[in-house]
Amino acid sequence: MSDLRVISWNVNGIRAACKKGFGDWLASDGADIVGLQEVRALPTQVPKDVREAEGWHGHWAPAERKGYSGVGLLSRQAPDAVDTSLGAPEFDIEGRLQIAQFGALKVANGYFPNGSGKNRDHGRVPYKLDFYRALFDKLESARAAGEPILVMGDFNTAHREIDLARPKSNHKTSGFLPVEREELDRWLQNGWADTFRHIHGDVEGAYSWWAQRGNCRARNVGWRIDYILASPAALELVKDAFILADVLGSDHCPIGVTLDGAVRG
């Protein structure tokens, strides 16, 4: 049975990404499931060549605020069910989550909040951490029951110093605050695995986001803030994990995992 290729990508606006070749990438990558973050469009605003892409099933969860946040899920196989609620209006109105069931496999596609407030302070850090904890709690019973689960998306946090090019100058920057990193620690200490580090260990220079200034991407001055976490049952199926740093179209690049085809059932 063929392997399952799962991709996560913060597209920084699906309409902008489509103008930069997203449709061609989707047709050529070979993915089975693609989770998108920061879609920033209503379902009717998603370009038709993606919204009605041949051979794909699409599910879109926009924010109430137009042009903001939003997640999308494209899959070769229609999901059995999709849940978009954390049961808290303050999260649900921002269109940050899809939890899709594909047979035995559960895939959570999340756009985790940025901790920076309007004045570039840390005003949204409590909201960000509450989102992390609410999702952790929502998935905990399924993880503890041994279900294979992937949690993928833009986590907006670099976990360790190795996960960003300039750690020393960013200890007071949201995205690398101790309290944010400790929340990722908590996930990893309670049964979740960082699939990229599981496969590649402490490889350096592996980033998924680059600031759109100072030629950061060309110089690889970046951050690894996009992850695919796996529950123990899912980790047993992970054959590879990767970062597609050469794929352009956003300030983030796609990341992914290859799962053993046995997960297809």
Q: Which residue numbers in the chain have pLDDT < 50?
A: none
* 128 dihedral zone (left: phi>0; alpha: psi -120 to 50; beta): alpha
pLDDT at 186: 98
pLDDT at 120: 74
Verdict on whether the full-model pTM lies above 0.75: yes
Burial pattern 69-105, b for ≥16 Cβ within 10 A else e, equals bbbbbbbeeebeebbbebeeeebbebbbbbbbebebb
Contact yes or no for 5/261 (Cβ under 8 A): no
Query: Is residue 130 annotated as a catalytic residue, yes or no?
Result: no
Which helix (H) or strand (E) segment is 108 a member of? strand 105-111
Beta strands, E only, 126-263: 149-154, 193-194, 209-210, 222-223, 226-230, 238-243, 255-259
CATH superfamily for domain 4-264:
Endonuclease/exonuclease/phosphatase (3.60.10.10)
Q: What residue segments make up the domains of the chain, in order of their start?
A: 4-264
Catalytic residue among 154, 163, 194, 226: 154
pLDDT at 230: 99
In this structure, what token pair is assigned to residue 136?
């952790």
In this structure, what token pair is assigned to residue 13?
């606006």
- Give the closest residue to 261 by CA, choosing from 93, 63, 77: 77
| Residue pLDDT, tens place only, 117-157 | 777 789 999 999 999 999 999 999 999 999 999 999 999 99
> Which residues lie closer than 8 Å to 119 by C-beta, 6 or more apart?
none
Where does residue 39 rank: exposed (0-12), middle (13-18), buried (19+ CB within 10 A)?
A: buried
pLDDT at 117: 79
Helices 125-144 & 178-189, crossing angle to 10 degrees? Answer: 0
pLDDT at 81: 98
d(Cα 44, Cα 40) in Å, to the nearest integer?
A: 12
